Every structure is written in C-alpha cells, then in structure tokens.
A and B are shown apart, each in its own frame.
Chain A
Amino acid sequence: MDRSLILGLLIFLTLLAMPFALPLIGQGYLTGLIIKAMLLAIAAISLDLLIGHGGLVSLGHAAFVALGAYAAAIALQSGIENILVLLLITLALTGFVALITGSLALRTTGVYFLMITLAFGQMAYFTLTSLAAYGGDDGLTLWSLATLFGSNVVQKGNGLYFIVLGTLLASWWFVNRMSQSRFGRVLRAARDNPERTEVMGYSVTRYRLVAYVIAAMIAGVSGLLVMQHAEFVSPALAAWQRSGDLIVVVVLGGLATRNGAILGAFFLVIVEELLGSFIHEWRLIYGPLLVFMVLFAKGGLSDLLTSKRRGNQVA
C-alpha cells in the first residue's frame, strides 16, 4: 500500500476513535471543533477536484455551501424534516445551479474562470442578503432541525458527528475513486494540455462541467450539514472570503493529493484555535505563517507528511 493511503486510513481511524476517546479526557467541546474541521474538509475535497485535478481555480465555491445550507433551511422551514429528503433537495438545487453557472463559466479558463466564478458567488451572496423572509443579512436561526425518519439522532453529539464523518469518508472515497478512474485521467490531461485532450476525442468542456457539478453538489451536502451543526444559516457563508479560505485549505494541504484537503482543513482549524488561545492578535502570526509555508513548504502538508525525504513531521 502506498503511504498516502496508509495516512488516509490513519486519519479516519483517529476520527472514528475520537468520540470514544474525547469523553475520557473530558472534552465534549472538542467534538464541535472536529466537526467544524470535517465540514471544511468536505467542501475542500470537492474544491480540490476542481483545482487540483481540473486546474480550475474557483473563487465562488463557498456559494454552493451556502446554497446547500439555505436550500435545506428553507425546506426545513416549510415543514420538510427528513434529512434524506433535504439531501435530495440540496443535491438537486446545487446541481442545477452548477449546471447553469458552470456551462457559462467554463467558456473561460485560468484567471478569467476564477473571476467569473467569483462573480457568480457574489450574485449568490447578494441574492441571499435580499431574502428578507429568511432573515436577509442577519441570517436565520432554525428552531427545529432535520430528523432521520422522525428520530433526532442526526441532530446532536455523536449522531451528528458520525453523519459528518461518514459524509467526509464518502466524499474522500468518491473523489479519490473518481480521480483514479478514466474520468480523472482525462480531467488531468485536460488540465495539462487541453488541446491535445480535445484532439484525442474528449470533450474537455463536458468533462470539466461534470467535475464542476459534482464538486458543487458535494459542497452543497457540506452546506446541509453546516446548517444542521450551526442551527443557523446566514449569507456570510457565501462571502468570497470563505471561498478564499477554501482555496487556502486546498493549497496548504497539497493539490490533487489523496489527503491534502483533510490535512489542510485540520491544519487551519487547529492553527486558528491554538494561535487564538495564545494571543488575541493571532493573525499577526498566521499571515506570515502562510507566506513561509508557500516559500518553504512547496507541495503542501500532504507532501511533508508522506514524502520520504522529510519523515513524519508536521510543519
């Protein structure tokens, strides 16, 4: 087995053991922190399909997280409580929106793609702020949450934890599987040399569009879970800074690597929490840290963890 697969399995075994280990050291609150990191990781995994494998840097990905969250929240408000039905609604909406915006955005490439996805993201953001019936700028507190056939096991604590973990595992497995399939190879070929790929008979745009829609749908699912976890949705979920954070996570973790998005997400959440607990002005350290990571840790965290040269040291 290769090192990255072992690392991946280690990560998931650790996450699986956490709910049993945490009560022993007396910290229920850490669950919330880990859930936050896992939710970030799910969205980042989907974005890595676009950035890492597709070479398509989207600065509007957070909009799909927000759309997923709002779709679920609004459906919930109108009385649909089953999480599986909400899941279908979320998938349908984000998939549909991605199909339309994707087919327009994919007429461009490179930095133009980045900017047009930013444009769509901003449109989503401002649309959400205008939903006065659902809280407008202030966002919406949810007084009831999604259930699983009437059971509230998916609402809190370990139940929610395992749902999120399961979704993370599924997204991780699915995206890895996809990237190793013929689809993934075509996507990467199109990233490295679109003309040649086109000549070989593959419709580059169609492959990219499929990747874009799938990435959006996974992000939408993370949005549904964000809503379930936070019991609150707000347009801030779609802010471009959130999309920027997702890019940071993906790049920090390592592009097109098996575990990069997860490592990046946990790194970001832990660094924020750690630095924030030392000094209030933790951004004074975090900013330069990012610069140093870029200058001295090429290839991201995933590379640091799995490459033979460096051994098992986290930066």
Chain B
Amino acid sequence: MSTTLLLILCLNGLQYGMLLFLISAGLTLVFGVMGFINLAHGVQYMVGAYLLFAFTGLTGNFMLSVLLSLLCALAFGLLLEFFVFRHLYTRSHLDQVLATFGIIIFLNELAKVVFGPTTLSIALPEFLAGSIQLTEQLKYPIYRLVTIGVGLLVAIGLFITVSYTRIGMLIRAGATTPEMVSALGVNIQRLFMIVFGVGAMLAGFAGVIAAPIYAVEPGMGDNMLIVAFVVIIIGGIGSVGGAFIAALLVGLIDTLGRSLATEILSFVFNPSFANQIGPALASMLIYVLMAAILIFRPRGLLPAKGVA
C-alpha cells in the first residue's frame, strides 16, 4: 500500500463526503425543522443530474447548464412542496413515508420513459477535464478537486447562514421548539418553503456535480438517499454541523473500506476468503458505524436539542 494510493483514497473520500453533505444538509433541515421525512429527497439528486444532461444537450455550454439546472431544481422542489408536501406536514411520519415513496416510484419511472433506461454520461468541458500533478507521483482529476472546493464553500455558506442570520436563527429555533416559533408570529409556512426549496436545490446540485463523474441513470438517487439518511442520523437530526462531520466520516470510511477491506483481511485470512467477504464487509461498514453510534449515542453525534 503506497502513500500515494492512500492519499488518492482520502481525496476520493473527501469528495464523496462533500456530495453526501450537499444531499444531507437539506434532508436534515427539512427533517429537523419541519419534522418531515422526505424520502423523495434522493430523487432531487437524480433530477439534478438529468437536468444537467438535458441542458448540456440543449445549450452545449456546461457552466450555463449548471446554472439552469440549479434554478430548475429549485423550482421543481418548490412545486413539489406546493402540490404535495405542504399537505403532509401535519400528518404522521408513516403517511409522509408512503406519499414520498410514491413520488420516488413515479419520478424514477418518468426518468426512464423520458430519457430511456440506459446509463447516460456528460462530458466535462476542457478546463475541468484532465488531471493535475499534485506531487511528483500524484495526479488527480481537476474536476474532483473542484467538487471538494465547491462542497467546502457551500458548507461554509450554510454554516454562516444558520449561525449568524435571522433566518438561520429561525431555522435553529424551528428545529428545537417549532411551537414556540409559530407562537411568536413567524410565518412558518414561508420558513418551511425556503428551507425546503434550498434543501431541494442542494440535492439537485449534488446530482449536477455527480453526473459527470458517476453517470446518469434512473433510480440513481435511491442508494444516495439511504446513505444520506445514515449521515443525518450519525450527525444528529437537524444539525448542519453534524451532517458535515458525519458526511466526511461516512465518505472516508466507505471509500477507504471499499478499497482496503480485502487487503487488510488478507493479512489475517487466506486471499480467496478475504476476496469473498471483503467487499461485503466494506459495504456494511457505514451501517455498522451507524448502529454502533446509535447504541452508544441514541441521538447521533451532534443532535439539535429537542428533536424527536
């Protein structure tokens, strides 16, 4: 195991973690502030990716397409909020799960009908394609570095918004004592819409960023959704900071585990056995981590106070 490889793995882990954070940030806020379980959040990720595919096809300009995709993802999120989710805030979690599950089924099928079932890919523009030499032996794709940078910027922006602005204060208050916030005469409906729209846009943004790396296919959001839930549970529901730490943790552990589990196991067991159980064990790691954290800290690492 060379240090170069380890470094690449860590960078990949960071990059994956940033994607997870973009998805989880919205999920944890929507859940924390509104007490709303939105399974359809993962579909927003897919929607973002397909939007980028459609717009790059139409305009041929990557940056413009990213911008258009973000706006459309935002609009799409708000539409969903207006027509469906708004009517579910007061309902039980199970009703929310059922209804948003229905939306996943619908949109996954719609993507297949409109764009076909095959895996699509999006070419990067010249200035983002290719790799740069980080150290003597280490070449790393520019686009992935950009992803890490953009993720960090969004994280900082969110952190400042939540910690130091009026709306951030309301969000924090909403996450801990929602009754109090509405009793104080805040337009909770509008607060919800803003939180929801931003959350949807961030998930769409994650899809946009991921599309050129991971390719675009129907149902691509389903597994991301589950991992995003793992992230917000580990981080503590309603906590953006928790989500950030948990996202990086999950990203790193998953990436390192997938690449190293087999090798580490083959020190102990014979190689064919290690080859057999290594990948399974690696896929399990993040769930083992979540279960362990929940057993010792039943409300996650950094819970926002008062969330059920």
Contacts and interface: CB of A to CB of B under 8 A. Distances in A.
Q: Do A and B bind each other?
A: yes
Interface of A: 51, 57, 104, 107-112, 115-116, 118-120, 122-123, 126-127, 129-130, 132, 240-241, 244, 247-248, 251-252, 255, 281, 283-284, 286-291, 293-295, 298
Q: Is the interface of A mostly helix, strand, loop or mixed?
A: helix
Given A248-B98, A288-B106, A123 B233 contact: no
Given A119-B287, A130-B277, A288-B102, 17 more contacts: A57-B94, A104-B295, A111-B37, A116-B290, A119-B230, A126-B284, A127-B280, A130-B279, A132-B276, A241-B222, A283-B106, A286-B106, A294-B91, A294-B98, A294-B99, A295-B99, A298-B95
Given A119-B287, A295-B99, A287 B104 contact: yes
Contacts, number: 123
Contact of B113 (A252, A281, A293, A294): A281
Contacts of B112: 281
Contact of B290 (A110, A119, A126, A130): A119
A130 B281 CA distance: 9
A244 B101 CA distance: 9
A281 B222 CA distance: 19
Contacts of A120: 287, 291
A101 to B, nearest CB: 9
28 contacts: A108-B298, A111-B31, A111-B237, A112-B294, A118-B229, A119-B287, A119-B291, A120-B287, A120-B291, A122-B287, A123-B288, A127-B280, A127-B284, A130-B281, A251-B95, A286-B102, A287-B105, A287-B106, A288-B102, A288-B106, A290-B98, A290-B99, A290-B105, A291-B84, A291-B103, A291-B106, A294-B91, A295-B84
B113 A251 contact: no
Interface string B29-44: 0010000010000000
Q: How large is the interface on B (under 10, 10 to 19, 20 to 34, 35 or more residues)?
A: 35 or more
A283 B117 CA distance: 14
A247 B94 contact: yes
Contacts of B237: 111
Contact of A294 (B102, B107, B226, B230): B102
Nearest to A117: B291
Nearest to B272: A132
Contacts of A291: 84, 99, 102-103, 106
Interface in B284-305: 284, 287-288, 290-291, 294-295, 298-300
Q: A251, A289, A293 — which one has the most chain B CB atoms within 10 A of its CB?
A: A251
A255 to B, nearest CB: 7
A107 B294 contact: yes
Given A107-B294, A110-B308, A255 B102 contact: no
B234 to A, nearest CB: 9
